[in-house]
Amino acid sequence: MKENRKNYDRIFKEKAVQLSYERDNISLLAKELGITAALLYKWRQDYQEFGTGSFPGKGNLKLSPEQEKIHELEKKLKEAELERDNLKKGNKHLFQGRSMIYLFIKDHEKIYSIEKMCKVLAVSNSSYYKWKKQIVSERQKRVILIKEAITSIYFNTKQRYGSPRITLELQNIGYQISRITVAKYMKQLGLYSKLSKKFKVTTNSKHNHFVVPNILKREFTVKEPSKAWVSDITYIQTKDGFLYLTIILDLFDRKIIGWSLSNGLSTKQTTLTAWKMALKNRKITNELIFHSDRGIQYANKSFTNMLDSFKTVTRSMSRKGDCWDNAVAESFFKSLKTELIYGNKLITKEQMELEIFEYIEIWYNKKRRHSALNYKTIEEFNKLTNYKNVA
């Protein structure tokens, strides 16, 4: 049976192209996004020619506005500058302790000159050669390699993982190691997962629109896809003001199937946009419960009429003032703000849009290990279920 071709919306294509400009390895990015490199290159070519008018949707013509400036690609750094930056990054993130710096130099002797690496990594040539002559025990080598793997996982996950998830990642690649040992090594290395902050509710539920009862009743575990979707809206602060993120999450596998990032809080910018994306990403085949809070973006006629046009969709809303009725959606926002935003400097809206796109489409939906899925990734979880082909 021929597999249906997946349709990607304008936001996905545009953000994928923009993100590709910041990556050196286009093929790896395409794999992370679940598309082919050829398709991503085609999108890039369209974007270079037509700018933001590249992806108008089916039946519409591609237009190239005369006044629209096409984003200029930054020139690649000179080879020497690139090497220097990579080495400095290695010194800052991947290595804690002089022995790991020496191991890095030893492993890269065929790529870079020893003198250059010693200079960039702030160690003397003589101390490196002295270390190289020393005999390191097999146990010491193993500890060094484990610590190197821990720090690599820690920074590859952007400091989001603590010892439980890092232990699972290590075990997944073949290390036999306990969480207690990982926690000990992380403490020695000074590696700590990002701490959470109190979640702030911004929903406006003071309106005269009709609200519905809580049909979901906190039954957050479902056995099939598209049986229960939950949705919520949060704010994200940037240098240029606030952005508002709307998400729709399928409780079956905790995947974000629809989302919208907007400058305003109108229904068209938030819930309707996220709903349309969710429908493209996952079909409604049988009865579906759509749960949200009582915010005006969910209770107004425009959105309720959209939901009511689907005869198999049943609306559900949290009780007044009870955030726990929508705990899974709020838990996602807590994870996002903890892992991506808290503790980092404010960035522009344009930069934040790319950060959010990468967090949802590459990190959360594909790589992150979820406690609700027994610490499996969403893709690993779906492979173990009877719904292997779920999008």
| Tens of pLDDT, residue by residue, the chain (391 residues) | 444 557 788 888 888 988 988 888 989 999 999 999 999 998 888 888 777 667 766 655 554 544 344 333 333 334 444 555 555 555 544 445 677 788 888 888 888 888 888 888 888 888 888 887 775 677 777 887 888 888 888 877 777 788 888 999 898 888 889 989 999 988 887 777 765 444 444 454 555 567 899 999 999 999 999 999 999 998 888 888 788 999 999 999 999 999 999 988 889 999 999 999 999 999 998 999 999 998 889 999 999 999 999 999 999 999 887 778 999 999 999 889 888 887 778 889 999 999 999 999 999 999 999 999 999 999 999 998 876 667 6
d(CA 221, CA 175): 31
d(CA 9, CA 281): 10
In DSSP terms, 292 is beta-bridged to: 317
40: closest CA among 53, 21, 56?
21
d(CA 127, CA 102): 9
Could you give the domains of the chain? 17-53 (no CATH), 79-189 (no CATH), 228-384 (3.30.420.10)
Over 138-176, what HEC string results? HHHHHHHHHHHHHHHHHHHCCCCCCHHHHHHHHHHCCCC
